[in-house]
Every structure is written in structure tokens, then in C-alpha cells.
Amino acid sequence: MADVTLEALADEQRSFPPSPEFVANALVTDSSMHDLAAADPEAFWAAQARELLHWDRDFTTTCEWDLPFAKWFTDGQLNVSYNCLDRHVDAGHGDQIAFRWEGEPGDSRDITYAELLAEVSRTANALKELGVVKGDRVAIYMGMVLELPVAMLACARIGAAHSVVFGGFTADSLRDRINDAQAKVLVTGDGAWRRGGIVELKQIADEAMAETPSIEHCLVLRRTEQEVAMQTGRDVWWHDIVPTQSTECAPESMNAEDLLFILYTSGTTGHPKGIMHTTGGYLTQVAFTFKYVFDIHPDTDVFWCTADCGWVTGHSYIVYGPLANRATSVMYEGTPDYPAKDRFWSVVEKYGVTILYTAPTAIRTFRKWGSEFPAGHDLSSLRLLGSVGEPINPEAWIWYSEHIGTNRCPVVDTWWQTETGAIMISPLPGATVAKPGSATFPLPGIGADIVNDDGNAVGIPGGGYLTLTRPWPSMLRGIWGDPDRYRETYWSRFDGRYFAGDGAKRDADGYFWLLGRVDDIMLVAGHNISTTEVESALVSHPAVAEAAVVGKTDDTTGQAIAAFVILRAGHDPSDALVAELRDHVGHAIGPIAKPKSILFTEDLPKTRSGKIMRRLLRNVAEDEALGDVTTLADPSVVDGIKGRYLTTASDED
Ligand code: ATP
Ligand code: MG
């Protein structure tokens, strides 16, 4: 690719300082923590590890860095489930609610820290009875029920690594992940509730297990209660084996570098990678970021992360971060539109949620549906909002702040990856002046920098490749079973630096703006143009709910911009609107960024975690065969767009 210098710098930038009311109670209100960490990052992380966690054995070395392999707190020992449960119960907080769980059909269950500890211990004993020992892998394929975090913590308690597979994946995807990890036990359910229907988890698991020789047992939770097949000798009901176990299960003291879990990436850019995370460093950074990015006050906050436990966001900010900090969290089983499009807001109101963490794809959808849905509920309990998963378009940020945060709540746009394990770039909400669309600055202790093709820092302002300049505690320890791919994927592009795959720029104030995947960056008439900036310009038009743009080969300009646009409720496609949108983008960024073609569509191809898969749109625009589609949520979407793209794409000027 040509030198990535992103010259299309957005013109308008609005600033949002935190309100004095928020600052008055915030944990961090100035730059002192950043300054402290900058002076000695390793000492900073060592202090955090000791302050935030209980170590069975203290560590004597902080970081061993043998590029590209890092070890943190190597000779320290600890147990993750002890840190998430026992120590809070021992300190007298056994009656505090850990999770306020809401089922999709409307049932609900609160579980206290003491109850969760008992349930985790029983489940850990059940796993042992099924033959799981320290060092084994356990696959988990469930809906968003409490037993999912219970199973994860039970693995952590006995030193087995979990591999959670999102409950929306197909039998083939589940099979491949089980085989890749060589899992011994699969934990699943009869089914999961989704939009009023049943996802047939056990049936899909059976199909997968037909070709997974490593699986010895399958532990099955009853949830949806339809008839399922149980294979004698292999399959065991949760209710037959877990409740009768002892609530005593001594936590295994693990080495800091023992494997905690394997998790596959979302597959936005291609075939998923089995990312490995270990014990001490992961828990340190997850506990740290949860506490400070979300400004957690464990006695009063009710935190709700709307992700699924099948993604890293669910691992770090539904399970490990909140529990390590003794937080009370909401966990919701279903979709945002069941039974109606106000379900999220009714959950916020019902439980008095104070901190909401969700994804741009959800925010754009809520904005498309209309502000009457949140407006019908009392959202006054909210005090902080977060976003993760994709760049958030400034317009969506503003809508979120206005209609959900009612102009009172700071918004933290958090950049990170499955590979980073925890948040890396984000505001600290009581200290950072936010700019909509910018993830602002690297967190204390994190080194990030933007470089050009030659690996040289681009300076301020400037755009290029986002790199991480030194190891961080929750960094991936590798790709399961493939050390070469690890080195090649993350450490080969720039000498001594981790390359994240994302493009970014810094504005004149030094703020970081994520600009999408570098593979998606478009080269139009010699100019590098980021997908994010053109999409954000489109979304800033009142008619547009969501947009995806890709570069399409063009005889005169090298690449031309092809746009796919979803309209907001009350707007209809027309030639006049095409012309208006092109002008709108031209105005916002410059004539060079005007899309050459615009296709109005009802849907965009997305991963099962809701991220736009531009590589498939590029295949459509170029009329090529589709790449890996195993992580695509709804394969019919691409076919629908493809049919219409070929007949309607305009090639005017
Ligand atoms: P794969 O690596 O398999 O292609 P993926 O990158 O989508 O899948 P994840 O680890 O779930 O898998 O996502 C991390 C990516 O999501 C980041 O590299 C970035 O592109 C995007 N992302 C996450 N949060 C943000 C954010 N706040 N702003 C911009 N981009 C973000
Ligand atoms: Mg990725």
C-alpha cells in the first residue's frame, strides 16, 4: 500500500468536558495517574497488580520482554476466581449482588457474591467429576444465562482454560474451535432464547460433536426445555450433576503466566485467530481498566455491558473486570428489540443502571429506530456511557450523549481488541475532555504511536498505522498452536512494535482518532482516504442511519468510493438524495471523498458481533467471489446487496 498519510482530516471537532457533578465524585480528575505511569510504566503496573489483586505468592519480576514474547509477574501466583469471588465474601460482602440477570422472556434472577461462589464451586467440582484437570481446555457454547459466567469461573477455579464460543455460531464453527483447542468437555444448554424463538444449542452441539474426538463429556443446562437428545455416557444434565456437589472447592494457585482462556477473534478481516490470555497480567489490566475507565463505585453503581460473553468484551467487562472490582452488574439474555424496541431502556429503568457499555452498531440502530423509544423511559439513573467494537461516528456519539445520556453523562469511546485483552485507548471520564468520534488518549501505562510506511512516527497532527510501542500486562501471549502466525501477524510489519491492523490519526491536540482497518483504506487519485471519515460524513446527514464505504478499482482514479447506505426511518431512496449525499460528503471532507456510487440498502453484512464486514462489500463492488463468510451473521444480506449492486450502481462522473 502507498504511504498511509490520511490527509482528509475532519473539519469540525466539538469538545465535551465532563460536567462538574461528574467530576465531583470521579476517581480520577487530573493527569497525575498518566504522569506517574509515564515516569515508569513497569513500576506503575506492578503497583496496580498488587493494589487491585490478591496474590498467593508475590512476584519479584514485573515484565520479561523477549520480543515478541512478554511475560508479566512471572513468579507470582494467584487464582482468578478467588480474586473475583472469595476475597469479597471473606471481606464481608457476601450479600452484595454480583449479577442482576434478566431473561429474555421476562424472568429474572439476582445472585449474590456468596451464592455465586457456591455455584462456581459446585460447578468446578462437577467439571472435576467429568475428568477435567488443571491444564485442560473446556469449550463453552451457551446463551447469556448466569451459568455461562459460572462455567468460566469454574474453569478458572480449577486451572482449566475456557474457550467460549458465541452461541450464535454454526456447528462447523463450533467444531473447528473445539478441535483447534482440543477441548475435553463442552458446556452447553438445551437451547437459548433469542427474539422469542429458540436457538437449538444442543442440536447444533451434537452436530459439531460428531467430529470432535477430543470431547469426552458434554454438560447440558436446561433453559428452553424443549426435547433434546442426550447421548448416554457422554452427555450429562447440569441439574443432575451440579446441585449435588459440595460448595467447597479450593481454588488452584496458578502461575501468573498460566493460560486462562483461548478466545477467537470476531473474524471481521478474515479467518479467526485463537488468542491466548494468561492469568496475572490479564486480570491486572482488566481490573484496572474496569475501575478507572468506568469510574466504578462498587457500593452504588449498577454496571451493564450489553455484549455477549462469547466476545472479549463479555470476558473482560461482564465477567472478570466487574467481579474483580466487586461490582454489581446487569446481565441480559436477549435482543434489544424483544418484545419491543425499547427493551434496553426498560432494563436500564428497571435496574437503575448507572453505567451502560454498548457498541456503535447498537447505537446506530437505536438512532435509526428513533428517539421515542428511550424517551418513554426514565434514564436518570445513568451517569456514564461507553462504546466499543468499531469507530463511533461523531453523529452517533452525539445522539447517544443526547438521547441516552440526556446531556449529563460522559461518553467513553474505548479502543481495544481481543488481542489486547483490555481497553488501551480511552478517556478517563472525570479527567478527559472528550471529542465525539475520538478515543482520545492511551491509558496510563500504555504506549501507542502512529507511524508511516517506514515505521517512523508521523508526529502531531498526522495519520498512518496505529502501533503499540511496549508490552502491556493483558497482551495476548500468542495464537493457540501457531507461534509463527503470531509473530507474522502482529510483529513483522514494524520493527519492535505491535501493529494492530487499524489506521489512526492524531489531531493538532494529540487526540487519537481511529480510522478503520488499514486494509480498508481507499486510495483515490493518490490520496489515502479512510472508510471511517467518509462513513461518518454520510452518517452526519439527517437521512442516513448507517453507511459503509469501500474502494473499487477505477480506470481514472485508481480507486473510486462505493457507498452502501441505510436510511433512517421516514426517509426514502431517490436520485436527488444520491446527489445530495455526494455533495454533503464533498462539503464535509473535500471533493476527492465524494462516493462515486451510492447504493441504498436495508442491511449491511456484519459479523455475529455486529461489525461491518467491508471486505465482503469490496468483493461485491469488484464482482469477485466472496472471501471467508463463516463469521457472517446473515449470509443472505450479501446476496441481496449483490443482486442490486450489479443492476443499480451508478458510474456518473
Ligand atoms: P479479526 O481480527 O478476526 O478480523 P476483529 O478485529 O473484528 O476480527 P475484535 O478483536 O473483536 O476482532 O475487534 C477489534 C477491532 O475492533 C479493532 O482492531 C478495531 O478495528 C475495532 N475497534 C474496537 N473498538 C474500537 C473503537 N473504540 N474505535 C475504533 N475501532 C474499534
Ligand atoms: Mg482484529
| CA-proximal residue: ligand 1, atom 23 (nearest) | 389
Residue among 416, 490, 609 to mutate when testing ligand 1 (max atoms within 8 A of CB): 416
Amino acid, single-letter form, for residue 89: V
**Cα angle for residues 246, 248, 250 (degrees, 5° grid):** 140
The closest-lying atom of ligand 1 relative to the alpha carbon of residue 269 is 4
| CA-proximal residue: ligand 1, atom 26 (nearest) | 415
pLDDT score of 327 more than 80: yes
Instruction: Tell me if 268 CB under 6 Å of ligand 1.
Output: yes
- Cα separation, 461 vs 507, whole angstroms: 5
| Ligand nearest the Cα atom of residue 358 | 1
Is 508 a domain residue?
no
Cell numbers describing residue 304: 451493564
Quick one: pLDDT at residue 650?
54
Q: Which residues pair with 309 in a beta bridge?
A: none
φ, ψ dihedrals at 523, nearest 5°? -115, 100
Residues 453 and 535 in one domain: no
Residues 435 and 490 in one domain: yes
- Cα separation, 507 vs 500, whole angstroms: 20
Is 637 a domain residue?
yes
Quick one: pLDDT at residue 128?
98
Q: How many helices (H) and strands (E) does the chain have?
A: 22, 30
The last residue of one of the domains, among 448, 472, 503, is: 503
Is 152 a domain residue?
yes
Residues 373 and 235 in one domain: yes
| Ligand nearest the Cα atom of residue 518 | 1
- Cα separation, 356 vs 456, whole angstroms: 38
Query: What is the count of structural domains for the chain?
Result: 2
Residues 496 and 635 in one domain: no
Candidates 461, 434, 435; CA nearest to 450 is 461
At residue 3 the predicted structure's pLDDT band, cuts being 50, 70 and 90, is low
Residues 221 and 106 in one domain: yes
Which residue, chain included where needed, has cell 458446556?
A: 187
The last residue of one of the domains, among 445, 468, 503, is: 503
| Ligand nearest the Cα atom of residue 166 | 1
Quick one: pLDDT at residue 653?
44
CATH number, position 465? 3.40.50.12780
The closest-lying atom of ligand 1 relative to the alpha carbon of residue 267 is 3
| Ligand nearest the Cα atom of residue 609 | 1
Residues 130 and 227 in one domain: yes
Candidates 350, 405, 584, 603; CA nearest to 413 is 405
Which residues are CB-neighbours of 638 under 8 A, at least 6 positions away?
605, 616, 620, 626, 629, 632
| CA-proximal residue: ligand 1, atom 27 (nearest) | 415
Residues 397 and 532 in one domain: no
Strand 137-141: give its sheet, edge to edge.
Answer: 235-237, 217-221, 185-189, 137-141, 161-164, 259-264, 274-278, 478-479
| CA-proximal residue: ligand 1, atom 19 (nearest) | 390
- Cα 531–chain centre separation: 20
Query: What end-to-end distance do the CA atoms of the chain give, in Å?
Result: 26
Is 519 a domain residue?
no
Is 1 a domain residue?
no
Q: Tell me the pLDDT tens digit for each residue of 68-123.
A: 999 999 999 999 999 999 999 999 999 999 999 999 999 999 999 999 999 999 99
The closest-lying atom of ligand 1 relative to the alpha carbon of residue 264 is 3
DSSP secondary structure code for residue 119 in this structure = H
Candidates 421, 221, 411; CA nearest to 321 is 421
Residues 531 and 489 in one domain: no
Q: What is the mean pLDDT of residues 388-409?
A: 97
Cis peptide before 68 (omega within 30 of 0): yes
State the pairing for strand pair 527-529/498-506: unpaired
Residue among 363, 390, 400, 609 to mutate when testing ligand 1 (max atoms within 8 A of CB): 390
Residues 209 and 264 in one domain: yes
Is 515 a domain residue?
no
Q: In this structure, are residues 630 and 165 in contact, taking their beta carbons and an 8 Å threshold? A: no
Q: What is the mean pLDDT of residues 46-66?
A: 98
The closest-lying atom of ligand 1 relative to the alpha carbon of residue 275 is 10
Exposure string of 539-559, with b = 16+ CB inside 10 Å and e = fewer, is bbbebbbbbbbbbbeeeebeb
CATH number, position 607? 3.30.300.30
- Cα separation, 518 vs 529, whole angstroms: 10
Q: In this structure, are residues 183 and 163 in contact, taking their beta carbons and an 8 Å threshold? A: yes
DSSP secondary structure code for residue 591 in this structure = G
- Cα separation, 596 vs 608, whole angstroms: 29
At residue 8 the predicted structure's pLDDT band, cuts being 50, 70 and 90, is very low
Q: Tell me the pLDDT tens digit for each residue of 265-297.
A: 988 888 889 999 999 999 999 999 999 999 999
Helix (H, G, I), strand (E, B) or coil at 582: helix
pLDDT score of 648 more than 80: no
State the pairing for strand pair 448-451/462-468: antiparallel
Which residue, chain included where needed, has cell 481514472?
A: 556
Residues 455 and 562 in one domain: no
Quick one: pLDDT at residue 635?
85
Q: CA torsion 504→443→410→309, rounded to 10°? A: 90
Which residues are CB-neighbours of 137 under 8 A, at least 6 positions away?
160, 161, 162, 163, 181, 182, 183, 184, 262
Residues 391 and 463 in one domain: yes
Instruction: Tell me if 53 CB under 6 Å of ligand 1.
Output: no
| CA-proximal residue: ligand 1, atom 15 (nearest) | 417
In which domain, by residue range, is 51 found?
Answer: 6-503
Is 532 a domain residue?
yes
**Ligand 1 center to residue 415 CA distance, Å?**
8
Residue among 264, 266, 466, 499 to mutate when testing ligand 1 (max atoms within 8 A of CB): 266
Q: Which residues pair with 464 in a beta bridge?
A: 504
Question: For the whole model, what pTM was predicted?
Answer: 0.97
Instruction: Tell me if 224 CB under 6 Å of ligand 1.
Output: no
Residues 204 and 344 in one domain: yes
Cell numbers describing residue 174: 463450533
pLDDT score of 9 more than 60: no
Q: What is the mean pLDDT of residues 368-374?
A: 97
Which contiguous run of DSSP H or E holds residue 534?
helix 531-539
Over the chain, what is the mean pLDDT? 95
The alpha carbon dihedral of 409, 295, 22, 32 has a sign of negative
Is 126 a domain residue?
yes
